[in-house]
Amino acid sequence: MHATPALPDEVPASAGTTGLGAGTTGEHAPALTLGHLVQRTARRLEAAGIGDARLEADLIWTTALGIDRAALYAAFRDTPSAEQAGRAEALCERRLNREPVAYLMGTREFYGLPIDVGPGVLIPRPETETVVEETLRLVEGVTSPVLADVGSGSGAIAVALAVARPDAFVYALDVAPRALELTAHNAAVHGVGERVHVLESDLLAALPRRAHVVAANLPYVMSGEIPLLEPEVSRYEPREALDGGVDGLMLVRRLLAEAGGRLLPAGALVLEMDPRQITAAGDAAASCFPGARIRAARDLWGRERVLVMENAPGR
């Protein structure tokens, strides 16, 4: 983790107040250093109401320059070329329009892994790491576990599971062609392409064998709440990856109804959802799996985010 260095207190007045600028802005104007330009980007983001403006300014410039943050800080006294400043300006404008920074960068870290992302696919969230942790815990004593990630999106869950368990056989299921493409790409990037089997599937329909654990981060936002989400989510992330119907549990209920015939004896389900949905989802799980052990797992912020259903042996 890099400490954020102090930036210059003032940007030369001759540089103007809009745009990022590069080199000189007039015949006698002083050149702007990278440090000044990063500061200007941060101020523009902050003025637009974007949180973590300084961090995001760093990310915009590292993306534009193709360098990491340590190299960015080391270059603060340098002057970017007009081409480099133009790339940063284009990224800044996209961010000011509230496009998610992960889409600008093309990547998001998940479970310690860089996962490539892009428009049309949900951006992985830190709370989803709880799904990975609970799945791995359930198969600690299982040799060569068979795992299924339903609604794989970018493939974050499937890839993280395959990397963490080199003996696992993972199915990644999704209905969206873009998601399937990106899952296969991320699996190949992390060297697990031969063990992550990507299948076009409506929930579990195409799963060819029973699994020890079925994990899923299905759409669970209540339809009426989507317009209330931050514009980064409501305007840019795919609605089909967000909308869980009136109560957010439309697809969760379908999955619970299908899962009985898709799990191995004593198999388990690990499902992410809104903490407000845990009780209702737990009741639905108990109805589909009488005698099962059902519990809620907490996310990184201590919220009951993941429903875990461990089937009773013999079912």
d(CA 143, CA 66): 41
The torsion angles phi and psi of 154, rounded to 5 degrees, stand at -75, -10
Return the CATH number of the domain spanning residue range 13-97.
1.10.8
User: Taking a C-beta distance cutoff of 8 angstroms, is the pair 251, 275 a contact?
Assistant: no
> Mind giving me the DSSP string for 97-128?
TT--HHHHHTEEEETTEEEE--TTSPPP-GGG
pLDDT at 18 over 50: no
Q: Where are the domains of the chain?
A: 13-97, 105-310
Confidence of residue 4 (pLDDT cuts 50, 70, 90): low
Query: For position 21, what pLDDT does the model report?
Result: 52
State in words which class domain 105-310 has.
Answer: alpha beta
pLDDT at 24 over 50: no
> Regarding beta strands 107-110 and 113-116, do their DSSP bridges make them parallel or antiparallel, or are they unpaired?
antiparallel
Confidence of residue 19 (pLDDT cuts 50, 70, 90): low
Query: For position 30, what pLDDT does the model report?
Result: 65
Quick one: average pLDDT of 171-193?
97
Query: For position 312, what pLDDT does the model report?
Result: 75
Confidence of residue 31 (pLDDT cuts 50, 70, 90): confident
> Regarding beta strands 263-272 and 304-310, do their DSSP bridges make them parallel or antiparallel, or are they unpaired?
antiparallel
d(CA 233, CA 226): 8
pLDDT digits (tens, 9 = 90+) for 187-223: 999 999 999 999 999 999 999 999 999 999 999 999 9
> Regarding beta strands 211-216 and 263-272, do their DSSP bridges make them parallel or antiparallel, or are they unpaired?
parallel
User: Taking a C-beta distance cutoff of 8 angstroms, is the pair 72, 38 a contact?
Assistant: yes
d(CA 139, CA 269): 12
pLDDT at 14 over 50: no
Confidence of residue 246 (pLDDT cuts 50, 70, 90): very high
Confidence of residue 314 (pLDDT cuts 50, 70, 90): low
pLDDT digits (tens, 9 = 90+) for 282-299: 999 999 999 999 999 999
pLDDT digits (tens, 9 = 90+) for 75-117: 999 999 999 999 999 999 999 999 999 999 999 999 999 999 9
